[in-house]
Amino acid sequence: MSVILCRREQVTNPYYIEGLGVNIHSSQELCYAVYHHPLFFTDGFVDLSLTEFVRDQLGMGFVAARMEQRIKTGDKPDEILLMFMQECDYYTAAELGKLRQTLTAIRRLSPLEYAKKKADYLAEFKQYGKAIAGYQEILEAAAKNPDDQLEGKVWSNLGACYARIFQFVKAMESYDKAYAKSRDLKVIEKMYYLTRMSPSLELKDRHRSLVTGQLQEEWDKEFSRAEEKAEEGEALLEIEELFQKDSIRRLEESAVLVEEWKQEYRNMA
């Protein structure tokens, strides 16, 4: 238990982290992002634009100079990043030791495993467009060295990403390919839910034959539960609240909300 005193940092131009889709306004946020999402910081993150931010925005000129020196001498980017984080005084030596282990483990992943992990991460952060591109690259690469288990997982995740951005047809196609590779009934379940969400879609006969009456009943129940949960969701309650307001405020606030949704969708896709 402790209290950390924050440095005075006047960040006027935040540093944008594409993978996370967030702007960084302080050294603590940057450390937090690296610590919790190291996958986004292993590929060419340590460069001169970062040191420029460290120097000009965070006011850590001496640290930036040391980072630049180490970049020039070809030091490992992970070590440079850890050195920066040590200077920020946000994480303890023990915590940084743990991060070092995580980074080492990431470096040990095969290129395909690494690419999948990264795409999964992007999907987790609702960066579906980037995740889809990542999954497609993996599938292209996997075509040279077929691996049904990996490809099955990738097609399934790709299907989930398409579904999240309402491209249900593409989602269905992806799940179809996922099932072909993995033969996992879970994939059929997802396809069934797609047909419930988009009634124009249908399960192919070969898939329909796998859905027993008992399974269908269970999945229907599960779908209803999900629908009920969605109805109680915070976002829906907000909209209901909005419609309780007078017409002028309703109009103003709904315009703001729609703009937020559009922005969110643009970020996703």
Partner 1 sequence: MDGLILGLDLCDAYTQLVCDAGEKSWIMPTVICKKKEEDVWLVGEPAYASALKGDGIIVDKLVKLVKKDGTSTIAGIKYDGMQLMVRFLVQVLRLAQEEYGTDKIKKLVITVPKVEIRLLECLRRCGEYLGADPEGIHIVSHTESFIYYVLSQKREVWTNQVGMFDLSQDGLCYYEMKMQRGMRQNTVLAEWERLEESFDLNILNSDKGARMADKILCSCGSRLIQKKLYSAIFLTGKGFGNLNWADNFMKLICSRRKVYMEDTLFASGAMYQGMDLLREKSAYPYTCICEGRLDSSVSMKVLSKGQESQLFLAKAGDVWYEAGADVEMILDHQDYLEFMITPLDSKKKKLMRMVLEGFPKRDDKTLKVLVQVGFLDERTMAVTVKDQGFGEFFPATEAKIRQEVML
> Which positions touch partner 1 (CB under 8 A)?
1-6, 8, 22-26, 28-29, 32-33, 36, 89-93
Structure tokens at 226: 């999900």
Q: Which of residues 167 and 267 has its CB atom nearest to partner 1 in the complex?
A: 267
Tell the smallest beta-carbon distance from residue 72 to partner 1 (Å).
27
Rounded distance, CA 150 to CA 177, Å? Answer: 12
Q: Which of residues 11 and 203 has its CB atom nearest to partner 1 in the complex?
A: 11
Q: Which of residues 36 and 221 has its CB atom nearest to partner 1 in the complex?
A: 36
Exposure string of 239-253, with b = 16+ CB inside 10 Å and e = fewer, is eeebeeeeeeeeeeb
DSSP label of 42: S
Apex 236 CA angle, 231 and 237, nearest 5: 100
Tell the smallest beta-carbon distance from residue 254 to partner 1 (Å).
21
Tell the smallest beta-carbon distance from residue 227 to partner 1 (Å).
29
Tell the smallest beta-carbon distance from residue 11 to partner 1 (Å).
9
Rounded distance, CA 174 to CA 187, Å? Answer: 10
Pick the closest to residue 254 from 268, 265, 239, 232 (CA basis).
239
Tell the smallest beta-carbon distance from residue 30 to partner 1 (Å).
9
Cβ neighbors of 75 (< 8 A, separation 6 or more) are none
Q: Which of residues 2 and 73 has its CB atom nearest to partner 1 in the complex?
A: 2
Q: Which of residues 9 and 189 has its CB atom nearest to partner 1 in the complex?
A: 9
Spatial contact of 53 and 29, defined as CB atoms under 8 Å apart: no
